[in-house]
């Protein structure tokens, strides 16, 4: 009941006037229930009820649509004028919080509630996101219980425990007011020199990563937290940290299909909601640009070959893999045209504004088609509706209850 009540603002915003009737099946001539014409011809079926998502799209301005395509970073530990402007003026679709934005339980809940309150005049709730993988990538503050790394979860040898841990993580995130988690990591730990994945991976085989990663994904979904599986098409065999520079992976498409792509293909079949695209150069697939800017990889490989029609999100566009080699605005436009739905611009207000301006200019100049924008915004609105998101205030957080759930899930 609480989730239903929380979803009311979004459902009302997306609903169209009038009550949607049931569409009747057409009746074959001579068999029907016509109204006394004597011909036996059926009455015409009533028109189908309008799609509320499409009706919502028709009422949105271009700026509102473009805002939905961006998840931005925030400054400090409370709402500031720049973040308020991104909400009230630019209508951004959501935010990501990092460790510097999170000081304490009370402060984090208050900050998220401030973001929601600033969005009160919008008809579309915010995506409020964080990296809460477990292990060394855990953002929530003490005194919350520590979460095991993906590697340690798999070493326990119980995939069902991964689902329980996913549920526990989902419970703690919802208590704070987060509704998106950039997890699970579906990268296969195949390179011992990898500087960025290591224990963040469930293991060195595709089978291990699939079995544990998908269970954790399902646990998050069960708690109504959107999981974003990452980092497609696979960050496990890199020797460069994409935060610093652009990794190059010299593998063929067939090699990827036998290892790196397996967990992502399994996740798509298991109804993954969102996939994060890595900043990796794969010369055999597309020698020109990183995967996050490649139509061959996002549209050709992920959408067409693997059949994924959910929300595609980039890794942070302000990482060195992009900014050392490309103009940020141009890279964002190319990534969107390649098939991304959401551009993650995780650091600095000026970068979020630059990306929004670049997108708008690309629309005005005809580089981005209006129909392409509507496709992505439709996916985003559908995802927000599916998870019954709202900007209802969260808290207070029952830390003891959450810690008990975490300890029970990890078997301690």
pLDDT band at 191 (very low <50, low <70, confident <90, very high): confident
How does pLDDT run across 279-314, given as a tens digit for each residue?
999 999 999 899 999 999 999 999 999 999 999 999
Give 16: exposed, middle or buried? Use CB within 10 Å, 0-12, 13-18, 19+.
middle
Is the Cα dihedral 235, 239, 243, 248 positive or negative?
A: negative
pLDDT band at 232 (very low <50, low <70, confident <90, very high): very high
User: Within the chain, how many helices (H) and strands (E) appear?
Assistant: 16, 10
- pLDDT at position 11 is 46
- pLDDT at position 27 is 38
- pLDDT at position 192 is 84
CB 206 within 8 Å of CB 262: yes
Instruction: Tell me what the mean pLDDT of segment 73-86 comes to.
Output: 98
Measure Cα distances from 326 to 196, 317, 334 in Å: 22, 10, 11
Residues sharing a CB contact under 8 Å with residue 315, sequence separation 6 or more, in sequence order? 230, 231, 242, 276, 277, 278, 279, 292, 344
For the chain, the helix, strand and coil percentages under 3-state DSSP, each to the nearest 5:
45, 10, 45
Instruction: Tell me what the mean pLDDT of segment 151-177 comes to.
Output: 97
Q: For the chain, how long is the longest CA-to-CA vector? A: 81
How does pLDDT run across 16-72, given as a tens digit for each residue?
333 333 333 333 333 444 444 444 556 777 777 888 899 999 999 999 999 999 999
Which residues are designated catalytic?
243, 315
- pLDDT at position 401 is 97
Is the Cα dihedral 202, 264, 162, 313 positive or negative?
A: positive
Angle at 343 between CA 328 and CA 172, to 5 degrees: 135
CB 133 within 8 Å of CB 185: yes
């Amino acid at each position: 009941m609480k989730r239903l009540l929380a979803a009311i603002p979004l459902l009302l915003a997306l609903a169209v006037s009038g009550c949607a009737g049931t569409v009747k099946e057409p009746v074959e001539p001579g068999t029907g229930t016509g109204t006394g014409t004597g011909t036996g011809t059926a009455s015409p079926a009533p028109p189908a009820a309008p799609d509320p998502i499409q009706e919502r799209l028709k009422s949105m301005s271009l700026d509102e649509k473009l805002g939905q395509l961006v998840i931005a970073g925030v400054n400090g530990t409370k709402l500031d004028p720049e973040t308020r402007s991104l909400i009230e003026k630019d209508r951004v679709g959501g935010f990501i919080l990092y460790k510097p934005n999170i000081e304490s339980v009370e402060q984090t809940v208050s900050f998220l509630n401030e973001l929601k309150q600033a969005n009160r005049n919008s008809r579309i709730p915010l995506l409020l996101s964080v990296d809460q993988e477990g292990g060394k990538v855990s953002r929530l503050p003490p005194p919350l219980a520590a979460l095991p790394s993906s590697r340690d979860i798999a070493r326990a040898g119980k995939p069902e425990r991964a689902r329980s841990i996913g549920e526990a993580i989902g419970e703690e995130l919802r208590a704070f007011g987060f509704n998106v988690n950039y997890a699970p990591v579906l990268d296969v730990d195949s390179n011992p020199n990898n500087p960025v994945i290591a224990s963040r991976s469930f293991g060195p085989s595709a089978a291990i990563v699939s079995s544990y990663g998908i269970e954790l994904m399902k646990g998050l979904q069960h708690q109504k937290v959107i999981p974003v599986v990452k980092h497609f098409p696979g960050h496990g065999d890199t020797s460069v940290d994409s935060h610093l520079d652009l990794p190059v992976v010299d593998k063929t498409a067939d090699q990827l299909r036998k290892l790196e792509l397996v967990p992502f293909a399994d996740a798509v079949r298991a109804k993954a909601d969102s996939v994060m695209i890595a900043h990796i150069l794969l010369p055999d697939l597309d020698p020109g640009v990183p995967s996050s800017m490649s139509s061959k990889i996002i549209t050709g490989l992920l959408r067409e070959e693997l059949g994924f029609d959910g929300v595609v999100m980039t890794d942070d566009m302000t990482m060195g893999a992009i900014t050392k080699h490309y103009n940020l605005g141009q890279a964002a436009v190319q990534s969107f045209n390649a098939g991304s739905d959401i551009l993650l611009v995780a650091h600095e207000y000026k970068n979020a504004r630059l990306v929004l301006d670049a997108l708008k200019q690309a629309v005005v100049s005809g580089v981005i088609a209006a129909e392409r924008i509507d496709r992505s915004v439709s996916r985003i609105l559908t995802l927000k509706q599916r998870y019954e998101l709202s900007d209802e205030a969260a808290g207070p957080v029952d830390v003891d209850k959450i810690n008990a759930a975490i300890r029970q899930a990890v078997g301690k």
